[in-house]
Amino acid sequence: MYSKLVMNGPVVLIRGAGEQASGVGWALAKAGFRVVMTEVAKPLMVRWPVCYGTAVEEGRWQVEGITACRVDSPSLGWETAWQAGEIPIIVDPDLEVLPALKPEILVDAIMAKQNLGTKRNMAPMTIGLGPGFTAGEDVDLVIETNRGHNLGRIIYSGPAQPNTGIPGDVKGISKDRVVYSTITGIFRAKRDIGEQVSAGDCLGEIEDGIQTAKVITLIDGVLRGLLRTNTQISANIKVGDIDPRGQKEYCWTISEKARAIGAAVLLSIMESGLISPTLNK
């Protein structure tokens, strides 16, 4: 059973509300920080059940006991959300809210493999997740996001490991566990997240008005992630995620990678000497 959060710590602005960003937001909210997350109007999220960005469309969304709510009047809405123990989500990819919010910490968790405009002077402390950031230059700290021995390592000087373009290994399987689009069009889901699928199964179809391309899994496993039906996508976009471990409950909980990154961000903030929040119990 979850108790109501007390959010009275420093303000943290997290750019992005996808899977890894949500792991960070969850960890910081649990620790009592006043978290605000920003997103684009139509975020693409394969593991949307564990993404706070789902609140952009649904209005509210809960991940492991912590709720996010879409806020359309930021200057009023974020304080109301914090008092309710919730994370406000704002559609604001250009950070127009930054001057009014004045966050003590800014975390770029867009996971775009490049810096899309975050600058070190945007907050007293800035943190970038993964490739595209250099600690000591465009941000203060970088968190390593590549699976392996260094996952979650705090980088005080220099960049994260370069983007390999290859999904992390899960049970000996790497690139075949992720399914990508082959054409631009509208995606229609044919299976549900949490289902057991087998190699050759059709997960969905992409229609461009002229042709229909089937989205096929190459491996057996549990369908851990799948874009929502009626999503407009381009070619070579991640559409689905097959988990060869076969554990259905993993579909609805934060991944080990997102937890490690969230813990690393929390540690880096606590280590920085900024005022610590009241820890929730």
Q: Are residues 28 and 99 in the same domain?
A: yes
Do 132 and 200 reside in the same domain of the chain?
A: no
State how far the alpha carbon of 193 is from the alpha carbons of 18, 23, 44, 199, in Å: 17, 19, 15, 16
CATH code: domain of residue 229 = 2.40.50.100
Q: What is the pLDDT of residue 280?
A: 47
Report the number of distinct structural domains present in the chain. Answer: 2
Residue predicted with more confidence, 7 or 35: 35
Contacts 24+ apart (CB under 8 A), 128-132: 128/160, 129/20, 129/21, 129/24, 129/160, 129/261, 129/265, 130/160, 130/163, 131/159, 131/160, 131/161, 131/162, 131/163, 132/160
Rg (CA), the chain: 19
Q: Is 70 exceeded by the pLDDT of residue 278?
A: no
Tell whether 203 and 233 lie within a shared domain: yes
pLDDT in tens, 90-126: 999 999 999 999 999 999 999 999 999 999 999 999 9
Q: Is residue 58 over pLDDT 50?
A: yes
pTM (two decimals): 0.93
Higher pLDDT residue, 75 or 110?
110
The answer as to whether 106 is a domain residue is: yes
Co-location of 230 and 264 in the same domain: no
pLDDT of residue 20: 97
CB atoms within 10 A of CB 3: 9
- Of 43, 67, 46, 72, nearest to 57 (Cα)? 43
Q: Which residue has the higher pLDDT, 162 or 122?
A: 122
Same structural domain, 96 and 36:
yes
From the list 242, 239, 259, the residue with the least C-alpha distance to 251 is 242
Q: What is the mean pLDDT of residues 231-242?
A: 94
50: CATH: 3.40.50
Residue 265 maps to a domain: yes
**pLDDT band with cut points at 50, 70 and 90 for residue 28:** very high
Quick one: pLDDT at residue 163? 81
Residues 17 and 115 in one domain: yes
62 and 191 inside one domain: no
Contact at 8 Å (CB) between 70 and 59?
yes
Phi/psi of residue 80, nearest 5 degrees: -65, -40
Q: Name the residue range of residue 133's domain.
A: 11-164+255-272
- Contact criterion met (CB below 8 Å) for 187 and 206: yes
Residue 139 sits in the same domain as residue 107: yes
